Structure 1
């Protein structure tokens, strides 16, 4: 496999990498998922979903940290899947499936941020459906233009955006003490923790939303070829990001729950705006909305930055179209990959709904990327126990095993239509690989020989 990291400039420090990770994790996610999470759990016990999401991020983050420290290259999972399963037919197929999935899943992530942005904007400006779509599409275009620059300048921008993101959360949490009602925040009903099928279904649906809000803790691995001292900084960035975001999310949920009854939270389309308006008045609600929109834009920037490295890495390896391996001649970033993902994300932002996008994102990724990668790291330990590991997960293999169980629980809590659709898409990708991609690679190898 080509050492893709040598083609990119290692210009991101630990601070910058962590900032990119954290703004990717936050985005619009927590601000649009709180009502779904509270409604699914029907009360303040919804904090369990945030705790489960944090636990899963830590467990799965251990897998990413070990693999990212070992192979700090552009592309993240594309590289990892081929390395852990071996550079044989199966390993190459798994890495191809990751790219196959990414060309749809990454634009879905882009679309979710853009659609969430346009929906939250309606708190400030009255927009009909067509106008909201115009806003979401325009946002994708603007962020693509912002990313058309050298990685060092993007690192500086990311730190500024994270200061805004962290400051917004601290303002939100600190403001909750003004009118905090413990009965709303901790007033659990008698049947709140009855472990009935309804409880588990609610927890599964709520966790599907909370996990979506944690996604992005691994973005630093996609940027492995851009990170300084990656063997140490990639694991550090992952765990700092997850720890910080978990504290902020749980603090946010408790404070929001203490500000109004859960029924009001579940019925709100602009929960953060409503929260600040309730405490300080209409101006604060509008100011908070502006900050949420900035955070959503920041997340979109981080998402597109990280995912653009995956088709690039695959193209360098001969496992995807050659044109995606091109770097900008002056600014040294994979501009073809960036423009492609931005273009498809633009189309999705015009055509899809936010709830459908969130469910589709997780369902597609669980099978190949998260479960496949966790199984792969265990297989790698078994088959190559003597390999040097710059970082080794604590309590191996428990984090990987428990993570797989939680991922499968969340997967099967989703609607069967999404599961069938994702499975069909993966099987189609496998067929494309064996019928089209592999024969072409063999032909090229024979021609070279």
Structure 2
């Protein structure tokens, strides 16, 4: 019996919706206060601009690779192709290795953030918070256990909720009358020195986390219509749209709440709406924020479930992950495994603990190594090989590598060691596995 295959059913609209719902998760709502506290001044908006610049630069790398290799698994294929037959196998294995850890962390972080904001509505306590976060993961897996065209429609519905939430927050600041005041004051007292650079680096760790997901469409490459056009388009539309929304949201909040309150608040957006329209409106806003968080977990889990599938189908990972549901045509074993691990992580960690860990684990292999792989691929194949070509090559690639190195350092020594440790451990497992196979 022939194994069922993935089918190209996701349109540009649906791909953009999947990206944007992944990007606008609970991240901007839970890190807004942390970024303001880290920068400790009206210039905290620069951290959100820095996140957008890095995302746009890095998206050029993903666009060249995603349009040229539109297959399930995204970076797994990009690393394999970029580093060639021998080293490529190691690099792609390392990507899957770290994905099996960091993907559930990403899913869990959104679920934990969901539980945090639920605390504004209902006092949960420790046990209640963990019950909520674990239940979110279970519900997400249940909703994803269906055909991709149905998932595409669900993504658009969730995306509409995301846009409604963001528009309400932004319009509240605009109608309040002081919307542009934070922009006018963003250079007030600013000194371009080491202290500012260090604060910007630490704050950018949080803002970059809030932008992550612009490349989610690449993991679904085998299911995108006209991938050579729609993969790059969906990424750039997503990043530009989200950057505008993030900046406007931060400006709106800062135009109403004093900076001191923003820095200390755990529910800053809910408090912002309460200051404008009262407790009932704040409750409704919090429900919409929970909608956004839920949508993000949905989208992220969808993309990540394709990575172990792609590796297993290629013979580089456990074969059980290559199984596709006989009637719904999606990698159900991969989905169930990542969901199970994410469920466990959602019970173990706090939101701020996982943000830096997520970036530290991903930067070395998924971002820096992938960029190096693109340089190697250009050298072997030439620029005409690529279905989409970035402007000013290779400057965006070199700039992205430099910025990712700075972000990696800003995660802090413990997280840097953890990220390097995961990579070293994966390398050891890879060579041990190959040695056992040869025997």
Q: CA deviation at 1:191?
A: 3.5
Aligned pair partner of 2:372 in 372, 375, 379: 375
Q: Aligned partners of 1:320, 1:180: CA distance in 2, in Å? A: 57
Contact 2:383–2:389 under 8 Å retained in 1: no
- The match for 2:5 is 7
- The match for 2:155 is 158
Aligned pair partner of 1:58 in 56, 59, 81: 56
Aligned pair partner of 2:27 in 19, 26, 29: 29
- The match for 1:327 is 324
Contact 1:324–1:336 under 8 Å retained in 2: yes
What does residue range 173-252 of structure 1 map to in structure 2 within 5 Å?
173-181=170-178, 183-184=181-182, 186-188=184-186, 191-192=189-190, 194-252=191-249
Q: Aligned partners of 1:383, 1:136: CA distance in 2, in Å? A: 47
Q: CA deviation at 1:178?
A: 2.9
Contact 1:184–1:261 under 8 Å retained in 2: no
Structure 2 unaligned residues grouped into runs of 5+: none
Q: Aligned partners of 2:14, 2:437: CA distance in 1, in Å? A: 38
Note the alpha carbon deviations across 1:142-161, whole angstroms, 9 max, x for none.
11000000000000011111
Q: Aligned partners of 1:180, 1:253: CA distance in 2, in Å? A: 15
Q: How many residues align?
A: 436
Contact 1:185–1:258 under 8 Å retained in 2: no
What does residue range 143-154 of structure 1 map to in structure 2 within 5 Å?
143-154=140-151
Alignment TM-score, normalising by the size of structure 2: 0.97
Q: Aligned partners of 1:21, 1:246: CA distance in 2, in Å? A: 13
Q: CA deviation at 1:271?
A: 0.9
- The match for 1:76 is 74
Contact 1:184–1:260 under 8 Å retained in 2: no
- The match for 1:338 is 335
Q: CA deviation at 1:196?
A: 2.2
- The match for 2:250 is 253
Q: Aligned partners of 1:441, 1:22: CA distance in 2, in Å? A: 42
**Is it true that 1:121 corresponds to 2:109 in the alignment?**
no
Q: CA deviation at 1:386?
A: 5.8
Instruction: Report SS of the residue matched to 2:120.
Output: coil
**Is it true that 1:285 corresponds to 2:282 in the alignment?**
yes
Contact 2:45–2:186 under 8 Å retained in 1: no
**Is it true that 1:431 corresponds to 2:428 in the alignment?**
yes
Structure 1 unaligned residues grouped into runs of 5+: 444-449
Contact 1:180–1:255 under 8 Å retained in 2: no
Contact 1:173–1:255 under 8 Å retained in 2: yes
Contact 1:44–1:186 under 8 Å retained in 2: no
Q: Aligned partners of 1:180, 1:261: CA distance in 2, in Å? A: 15
- The match for 1:418 is 415
Structure 1 moving runs of 4+ over 6 Å: none
Q: CA deviation at 1:195?
A: 2.2
Q: CA deviation at 1:183?
A: 4.8
Instruction: Report SS of the residue matched to 1:7.
Output: coil
Alignment TM-score, normalising by the size of structure 1: 0.95
**Is it true that 1:294 corresponds to 2:291 in the alignment?**
yes
Q: CA deviation at 1:38?
A: 0.6
Q: Aligned partners of 1:441, 1:227: CA distance in 2, in Å? A: 35
- The match for 2:346 is 349
What CA RMSD, in Å, does the superposition of the two structures yield over aligned residues? 1.4
Q: CA deviation at 1:179?
A: 2.6
Contact 1:10–1:225 under 8 Å retained in 2: yes
- The match for 2:397 is 400
Mean Cα displacement is larger for which, 96-105 or 34-43? 34-43
Note the alpha carbon deviations across 1:283-341, whole angstroms, 9 max, x for none.
11000000000110110010110000000000011111000000011100000000000
Q: Aligned partners of 1:25, 1:386: CA distance in 2, in Å? A: 30
Q: CA deviation at 1:256?
A: 1.0
- The match for 2:89 is 92
